[in-house]
């Protein structure tokens, strides 16, 4: 039988709050995490606001000297991963499962959880991605180069900016020796990392995966670059109302930062160690639009195929199309994107689309880019656990072309055992995850 994958831990670091409970509570309350940017002076920029992580002191979980040399995207990832691991009660055994000398194909590898509830260090892996990586250190180092010369570039510069340093440093800090690298697929990064981590467990290369996305691009280049594309909202007089997915008056997305990390485990091992299982990952889709650098096709054809791919996997677990009760939409608050996703959902789900609760939590968090998929996967799981659908805030005048039930303004109590989460990115890359109540 195919190995099954369950979720046993969640870690969040978002503009809504530090940690899983604070972020989810604010999300259900319909609070906005958007406000004036404090990381840098925005006077010369068209957009003056974003979704910043507030109140995080890295020295509470990272040595002060080490923290000084890390980019924020790594710090956010480490914070969320620490919380996720603690939530899962994950114990790492420093003795690897594969401790043999010469290769012997006749010797079976010792896999799964050990009798004491720990996992061998080489049976745990880390897939944590980001869309852009250490942008702020690229900015500051370029200033150093031009003003003081190449001799003053920090020896930490390259480790500060490379994306795989997020999972890399986590593995070093925890002694984790399983599969370790970063997925980089723009705004679908976090979802792709989780989906590929699940495949790694199914394929038998690991028993546990720490997976998700992180981002810290509320910076001069990040904001300036998206402003140059005219992709960001410029509603500077009311930042908390700027992210308005599916609303006729939307004028672009709101840039944000943070991290969302899940602990995935092979189901039988999780049961043997007595883990509290939050949900099961039953479907994963990944496709390409093959259409345009930054825009989806009007009918969301790539998104359609992505959702159908995930639904086909879910069908193997006895889950049908009509079992999906909630969709956490990609819903960025852009003209083309919101319409294309709406059309894709209606095409894939047919008559059932009218019975679905669909919401965009980006209306509250802003768009966390590479971290979005990880955070929204977590929100999808929490919606199943709590029987509550988070709202789409700021939906005051629905776009006539966006005509589904987007759970406007207020969270909704609903019994729902299956949730689908969409993530789409520049380059025409798509990811869909489906989570189900564990049974």
Active site (annotated) includes residue 13: no
Asked if residue 217 lies in contact with residue 133, where contact means CB atoms within 8 angstroms, the answer is no
Residue among 137, 330, 402, 438 flagged as catalytic: 330
- The percent of the chain in helix, strand and coil, each rounded to the nearest 5, is 35, 20, 40
Name the active-site residue from 87, 192, 367, 438.
367
Burial class from Cβ neighbours inside 10 Å (0-12, 13-18, 19+) for residue 267 reads middle
Q: Yes or no: say if 270 and 427 are a contact pair by the CB < 8 Å rule.
A: no
Print burial letters for 212-229: b (CB count within 10 Å at least 16), e (below 16): bbbbbbbbbebbbbbbee
The backbone torsions φ and ψ at residue 264, rounded to the nearest 5 degrees and listed phi first, read -105, 140
- CA 107 from chain centre, in angstroms, equals 38
One of 27, 187, 306, 402 is an active-site residue; which one? Answer: 187
With the CA atoms of 29, 81, 218 and 411 taken in that order, what torsion angle do they form, in degrees rounded to the nearest 10?
Answer: -10
**CA-only gyration radius of the chain, Å:** 21
48 is catalytic: no
Our answer to whether residue 330 is catalytic in this structure is yes
Q: Which residues are the active-site residues?
A: 187, 330, 367
């Amino acid at each position: 039988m195919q190995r099954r994958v369950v979720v046993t831990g969640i870690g969040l670091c978002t503009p809504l709050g530090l940690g899983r409970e604070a972020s989810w509570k604010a999300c259900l309350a319909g609070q906005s995490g958007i406000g004036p940017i404090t990381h840098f002076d925005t006077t010369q920029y068209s957009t003056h606001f974003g979704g910043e992580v507030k109140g995080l002191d890295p020295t509470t979980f990272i040595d002060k000297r080490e923290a000084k040399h890390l980019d924020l995207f790594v710090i956010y990832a480490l914070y969320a991963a620490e919380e996720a691991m603690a939530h899962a009660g994950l114990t790492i055994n420093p003795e690897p499962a594969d401790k043999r000398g010469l290769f012997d194909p006749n010797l079976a590898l010792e896999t799964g959880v050990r009798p004491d509830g720990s996992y061998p260090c080489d049976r745990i892996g880390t897939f944590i991605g980001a869309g852009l990586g250490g942008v702020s250190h690229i900015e500051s180092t370029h200033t150093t180069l031009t003003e003081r010369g190449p001799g003053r570039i920090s020896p930490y510069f390259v480790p500060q900016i490379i994306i795989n340093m997020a999972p890399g440093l986590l593995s070093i800090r925890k002694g984790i020796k399983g599969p370790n690298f970063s997925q980089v697929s723009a705004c679908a990064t976090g979802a792709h990392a989780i989906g590929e981590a699940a495949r790694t467990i199914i394929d038998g290369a690991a028993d546990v995966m720490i997976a998700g996305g992180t981002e810290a691009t509320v910076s001069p280049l990040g904001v300036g670059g998206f402003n140059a594309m005219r992709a960001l909202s410029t509603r500077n007089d009311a930042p908390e109302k700027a992210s308005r997915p599916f609303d006729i008056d939307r004028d672009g997305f709101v840039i944000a930062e943070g991290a969302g990390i899940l602990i995935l485990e092979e189901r039988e091992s999780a049961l043997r160690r007595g883990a509290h299982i939050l949900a099961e990952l039953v479907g994963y889709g990944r496709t390409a639009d093959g259409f345009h650098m930054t825009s989806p096709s009007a009918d969301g054809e790539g998104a359609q195929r992505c959702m159908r791919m995930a639904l086909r996997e879910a069908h193997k677990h006895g889950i049908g199309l009509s079992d999906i009760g909630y969709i956490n939409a990609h819903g960025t608050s852009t003209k083309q994107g919101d319409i294309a996703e709406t059309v894709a959902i209606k095409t894939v789900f047919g008559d059932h689309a009218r019975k679905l609760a669909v919401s965009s939590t980006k209306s509250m968090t802003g768009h966390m880019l590479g971290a979005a998929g990880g955070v929204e996967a977590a929100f999808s799981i929490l919606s199943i656990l709590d029987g509550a659908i988070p709202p789409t805030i700021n939906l005051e005048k629905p776009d006539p072309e966006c005509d589904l039930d987007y759970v406007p303004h207020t969270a909704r109590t609903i019994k729902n055992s299956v949730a689908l989460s969409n993530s789409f990115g520049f380059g025409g890359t798509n990811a869909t995850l489906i989570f189900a109540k564990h049974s």
